[in-house]
Amino acid sequence: MTPNRTGADPPPASRRAWPLGARGVAEQMTNAERILKALEKVGGGCCDTCLSRRSRVAARQQVNQICRRLEDAGTITRGETTCGVCGAAKTVSVLANTSHQRRKPRPSAADVSHSPSPEEMRNQLDRFCTGLWEKRGSGQKPDGLAALIAELSDRGAIPMHQANMMHTVRALRNAYVHDHIRIGPREAAVLDGAWGIIHDWAEGCERGLWRRTSR
């Protein structure tokens, strides 16, 4: 074996370090770490689409979910502004200065939707799901909102958690309209929470359709 320049034998192949771009730290990074690294390089705000490209996390919806978890942890902040990469007005993520800045609480459904009534919630869901079916579905549209939500969820157009929240809103609306169940503070809290989850997902993934079908 030929000695190297220092006179020492080279390490066995099993002990040689892999190049960073091939197998080292780069492959061991989690998707969340990739996203944070991409935000560090951007320096300003970045939308989910641009983050997906720059972090190489392929699914934009996965980027959205990871960013929302990072927002809940106070690592980043998210808001409606101009993306520093593509220049479009979108929901943009920015690294938070956690040592000096506390995360502001996310607005409730009452804040973002001006407290729609159970009937207004149900009607918007019907318009939204109908539009989503026309955009992504094929064949005859299922009869009834419950069947429509279930079929869209089965086809992957609506995540299961958000679909369950839609069913919650629909069921409480039916109890209010048909069974004359009073919407008290607890029922209102359930509606508020469910609507907020639906709203956040729709704004992040189907913003144009969601806003077109709002009242």
User: Which residue, 95, 121, 156, sits at the end of a domain?
Assistant: 95
Phi-psi region of 185 (alpha: psi -120 to 50; beta: other; left: phi over 0): alpha
Lowest mean pLDDT of 97-101, 116-120, 185-189, name the range. Answer: 97-101
Please answer whether residues 51 and 39 qualify as being in contact, where contact means their C-beta atoms are separated by less than 8 angstroms: yes
> What's the confidence (pLDDT) of residue 12?
45
Are residues 121 and 199 located together in one domain of the fold?
yes
Of the pLDDT bands very low, low, confident and very high (cuts 50, 70, 90), residue 106 is very low
Residue 1 has pLDDT above 60, yes or no: no
Phi-psi region of 45 (alpha: psi -120 to 50; beta: other; left: phi over 0): beta
For residue 211, give the amino acid letter: R
Are residues 187 and 115 located together in one domain of the fold?
yes
* Between 81 and 20, residue with greater pLDDT: 81
Are residues 198 and 115 located together in one domain of the fold?
yes
Are residues 115 and 176 located together in one domain of the fold?
yes
User: Which residue, 72, 95, 118, sits at the end of a domain?
Assistant: 95
Are residues 153 and 185 located together in one domain of the fold?
yes
Are residues 91 and 37 located together in one domain of the fold?
yes
> What's the confidence (pLDDT) of residue 165?
93
Are residues 57 and 83 located together in one domain of the fold?
yes
* Between 213 and 112, residue with greater pLDDT: 213
> What's the confidence (pLDDT) of residue 115?
63
Residue 161 has pLDDT above 90, yes or no: yes
Give this prediction's pTM: 0.49
* Between 172 and 24, residue with greater pLDDT: 172
> Which ranges of 77-144 would DSSP assign to H, the alpha helix?
109-113, 118-136
Collapsed DSSP state (helix, strand, coil) of residue 92: strand
Please answer whether residues 94 and 77 qualify as being in contact, where contact means their C-beta atoms are separated by less than 8 angstroms: yes
Are residues 50 and 115 located together in one domain of the fold?
no
Q: How many domains does the chain have?
A: 2
> What's the confidence (pLDDT) of residue 166?
94
Range of the domain at 75: 22-95
Residue 9 lies in a domain: no
Residue 75 has pLDDT above 50, yes or no: yes
CA atoms 130, 164, 209, 114: torsion sign: positive
User: How many Å apart are CA 82 and CA 206, to the nearest integer?
Assistant: 18
Are residues 195 and 153 located together in one domain of the fold?
yes
User: How many Å apart are CA 118 and CA 25, to the nearest integer?
Assistant: 51
Q: Hey, how many other C-beta atoms are within 10 angstroms of the C-beta on 79?
A: 11
